[in-house]
Amino acid sequence: MSAVHTVARVLLGMAIVSSPFDSTWWKTLALIAVIAVALIGGLIDGVADGRKHSEPEDYNDLTVRWLSAGLLAGLITGIACWILGNHVVDGMGQNPIYIEVFVGGAFTALLIFVPALLGAAVGRRIGQRGNKQPAAVEPAEPQDALA
């Protein structure tokens, strides 16, 4: 996830430098791309978890998994984008490292965490559909022939 976000920021910086009047479109496109990847990743995890466990009480804890992924991606992306923005790529901004790590990292964590949880919830529903066992039919009570 950090690679996706870092690549999106690098491409966004290059696109804004080449056509600054279209920066709103480029920002929107980069935001949609990062959210879509997180949503699809959560969806895949949710489907796998829904197929693996037949009862909701047995589900894996995808909340902590995706929160950890978001926080780690935020930290890695913040550091990588600070290095790239200050030394390699023009147009990415030159924020101090603490701004990139804390503010950018928190934003990245939310961009990953919220769509991934939404995707996991939908994915679990999809995965559960295939797990539905048909209800067992109980045998009818025998009818008395004299009645």
- Indicate whether 109 pLDDT > 80: yes
What integer is the mean pLDDT of 28-50?
A: 92
Task: Give the distance, in angstroms, between the CA of residue 43 and the centroid of all CA atoms in the same chain.
Answer: 8
Q: Given pLDDT bands bounded at 50, 70 and 90, which one contains residue 48?
A: confident
What integer is the mean pLDDT of 112-117?
A: 94
Residue 71 confidence (pLDDT) = 93
What integer is the mean pLDDT of 50-62?
A: 77
SS3 137: coil
Q: How far apart are CA 1 and CA 48, in angstroms?
A: 19
**Integer angstrom CA distances of residue 117 from 52, 80, 120, 133:** 18, 25, 5, 26
**Integer angstrom CA distances of residue 106 from 10, 68, 88:** 18, 12, 23
Residue 15 confidence (pLDDT) = 87
**Euclidean distance between the first and the last CA atom of the chain, given in angstroms as a whole number:** 72
- Indicate whether 72 pLDDT > 90: yes
SS3 135: coil
**Sole residue written with tokens 């480029």:** 26
Q: How far apart are CA 120 and CA 18, in angstroms?
A: 37
Give the domain ranges of the chain.
2-129
